[in-house]
């Protein structure tokens, strides 16, 4: 399993109070594909650099999780079909080096 980070921009226009429920639903989506979510950072609503789907701002959430490489494609495909996910960006995090090797 590899460690990944996923930054998601969520469309919460007209329903800002539902961001928490949307993030919980997305956590279940990740788990459903075999990913183990370690941390979710709620980054609040921010202005977008450019207008997307007639939106000028979005609620951002950052997921740090472990998953098999094949699961990433499945998660991406499901998020692409989700109307509340505007932008998705995945990054593979470097593997941690053992403490003994780092000290040497």
Block means of pLDDT (10 residues each) for the chain, length 104 residues? 94 78 93 94 88 86 94 95 93 79 52
Query: Residue 41: its pLDDT value, please?
Result: 93
- Residue 86 has a pLDDT of 92
User: Could you tell me if residue 95 is inside a domain?
Assistant: no
d(CA 103, CA 5): 27
Residue 96: per-residue pLDDT: 76
Give the count of domains, the chain. 1
Q: Strands of 1-104 (E only): list them.
A: 2-10, 36-52, 55-67, 85-92
Helix (H) or strand (E) holding 20: helix 19-32
Q: Among candidates 62, 20, 65, which has minimal Cα distance to 38?
A: 65
Q: Is residue 35 part of a domain?
A: yes
pLDDT at 52: 79
Residue 92 maps to a domain: no
CATH code at position 30: 3.30.70.60
Q: Identify the three-state secondary structure at position 98.
A: coil
pLDDT of amino acid 3: 94
Residue 4: exposed, middle, or buried by beta-carbon count in 10 A (0-12, 13-18, 19+)? buried
pLDDT at residue 95 in the model: 80
Residue 28 in domain: yes
């Amino acid at each position: 399993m590899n460690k990944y980070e996923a930054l998601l921009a969520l469309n919460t226009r007209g329903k800002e109070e539902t961001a928490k429920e949307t993030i919980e639903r997305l956590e279940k989506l990740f788990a459903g594909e075999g990913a183990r979510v370690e941390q979710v950072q709620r980054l609040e609503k921010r202005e977008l650099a450019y207008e997307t789907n007639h939106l000028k701002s979005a609620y951002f959430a950052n997921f740090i999780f472990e998953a098999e490489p094949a699961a990433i494609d499945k998660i991406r495909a499901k998020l692409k079909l989700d109307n509340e996910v505007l932008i998705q960006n995945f990054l593979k995090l470097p593997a941690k080096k053992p403490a003994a090797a780092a000290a040497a």
